[in-house]
Amino acid sequence: MDTQRSAERDRMQDIVSLCKRRGYIFPSSEIYGGVNAVFDYGPLGVEFKNNVKRAWWDAMTRMRDDVVGLDASIIMARRVWQASGHEEVFTDPLVDCTNCKARFRADHVIEEQGNLDVCPNCGQRGTLTEPRRFNLMFKTFMGPVEEDAGLVYLRPETAQGIYVNFLNVQSSMRKRLPFGIAQIGKAFRNEISPGNFTYRMREFEQMELQYFIPPEDEERWYNYWKEQRRQWYLDLGMQPEHLSWHEHGADELAHYARAAVDIYYQFPFGSKEIEGIHDRTDYDLRRHTEFSGKDMSYFDDIEKRRYIPYIIETSVGADRSALAFLCDAYDEEEVKGETRVVLRLSKRLAPIKVAVMPLSKKEDLVALARKVHDGLRPLGLTQYDDTGGNIGKRYRRQDEIGTPYCVTVDFESLEDGQVTIRERDSMTQRRVAIAELRDILSAELA
């Protein structure tokens, strides 16, 4: 068991180091020693994460008639967080070790070891303090004076931006229920025990759908969205055996939820939540009606009845799901006595779709390879690589970053107008005419 655990830890370290080495993810402010639980996406990381977000946006908005998009502000009126309950209850129970000064979430310690008797860091008995509530919202001040009247929060979730715009969206878009509003945006949480790379960050992005429904349809839509959301991961190539459900028991339910289920992913550091699907009832719009004095109810002009819509929410971290896709794609295999590292990312998520490489730096080869590369640009992000050196090594570098296809221009290409396509997963190679190359790759990437 211990060897398995340490192999999994090693695997996570391999993924983290690949991310750094190959331009996916860097620690924030690294030259100043870094900021805990804040990360920067490098040139490949930003493309990859954009692809994750685009895949979500397409599935949730563009492929549907019943969902529209929104991009609400990060800073909102303070009353929003009083209405939502965040100012009062968005807290985690915190314990400190009086011996080693380490800080933990009490619920995490209890989950791991059943009680709070021993410090998980230094192993001392009886050194953990009583749990204290700690609010996770970051505060800042609007205006020149740091006074209570100017206090605002950085939003800890994107959902509230959707609720407060419910009437704006519904009336401007003339939407009838059921319909949804989707949003992707930054959220901030002053997490007590961040960690596991980008799994738990203090600044992160969420992709949230709030689906507004008549109260009596709550169960149907809850089940519907559960299935839709699981299928999204499978459609993007995630291995089904790595996904599982975690149904919330009565003691776990958030203050706003009637029912909640998490989608768990089997990370190298354990099976953990990547997405939550919540039946929020009419809690949100009812509270905003109470706190703002603005009637957030909906009038059904066909059925001639007025009610406060119920909401089914699906909420996933862009960073957390991106990390799950990376972990799922990471593979090592033995090829001719050497270890090949390959990111088997879905073609839709791979940051670079095609890499074009001349076999050598000879002038006429380079000129042709550049021309071939320019012809492939419409396929998505492509890369031109004439760094020279062994072509096998260049293929390996592309394998490591998940590029599905390499195209090699060699001396024969100058004679016969053909190039070699080399495929990432199977490593098979085939010759095709340059004139047909774009159509072939475009069909395979589609």
Residues binding ligand ATP (CB under 6 A): 157, 189, 191, 200-201, 204, 206, 273-276, 315-317, 319-320
CB of 19 to ligand ATP, least distance (A): 15
CA atoms within 13 A on the CB side of 83: 23
Q: What is the DSSP string of 64-130?
A: -SSEEEE---SB--HHHHHHSSHHHH-EEEEEEBTTT--EEEHHHHHHHHSSSSB-TTT--BT-BPP
**Distance of alpha carbon 307 from the chain centroid:** 34
Residues 6+ apart with CB under 8 A from 65: none
Residues 6+ apart with CB under 8 A from 437: 372, 375, 376, 407, 419, 421
Residue 45 vs 276, nearer CB to ligand ATP: 276
Residue 255 vs 361, nearer CB to ligand ATP: 255
Residue 2 vs 111, nearer CB to ligand ATP: 111
CB of 270 to ligand ATP, least distance (A): 12
Residue 317 vs 404, nearer CB to ligand ATP: 317
CB of 417 to ligand ATP, least distance (A): 49
CB of 404 to ligand ATP, least distance (A): 26
In angstroms, rounded to a whole number, what is the distance separating the alpha carbons of residues 105 and 136?
A: 12
CB of 432 to ligand ATP, least distance (A): 41
Query: In terms of DSSP H, where are the helices of 197-260?
Result: 218-235
CB of 134 to ligand ATP, least distance (A): 13
CB of 280 to ligand ATP, least distance (A): 11
| CA dihedral for 56, 314, 86, 252, sign (positive or negative) | negative
* C-alpha dist (Å) from residue 126 to 92, 101, 130, 176: 21, 13, 10, 58
Residue 249 vs 337, nearer CB to ligand ATP: 249
Residue 321's nearest CA partner among 18, 56, 42, 22 is 56
Residue 206 vs 403, nearer CB to ligand ATP: 206
CA atoms within 13 A on the CB side of 42: 14
CB of 275 to ligand ATP, least distance (A): 5
CB of 415 to ligand ATP, least distance (A): 53
Output the residue with the shortest Cβ distance to ligand ATP. 317
CB of 236 to ligand ATP, least distance (A): 15
Residue 38 vs 77, nearer CB to ligand ATP: 38
Residue 87 vs 273, nearer CB to ligand ATP: 273
37-65: b (≥16 Cβ within 10 Å) or e: bbbebbebbebbbbbbbebbbebbbeeee
Residue 323 vs 354, nearer CB to ligand ATP: 323
Instruction: Give the H or E element holding residue 289.
Output: helix 283-292
Q: Which phi and psi (to 5°) does residue 57 adopt?
A: -60, -45
CB of 301 to ligand ATP, least distance (A): 34
DSSP type of residue 446: -
In angstroms, rounded to a whole number, what is the distance separating the alpha carbons of residues 439 and 25?
A: 33
Residue 427's nearest CA partner among 405, 397, 401, 445 is 405
**Distance of alpha carbon 125 from the chain centroid:** 38
Question: 3-state class of 162 per DSSP?
Answer: helix
Residue 191 vs 400, nearer CB to ligand ATP: 191
Residue 208 vs 410, nearer CB to ligand ATP: 208
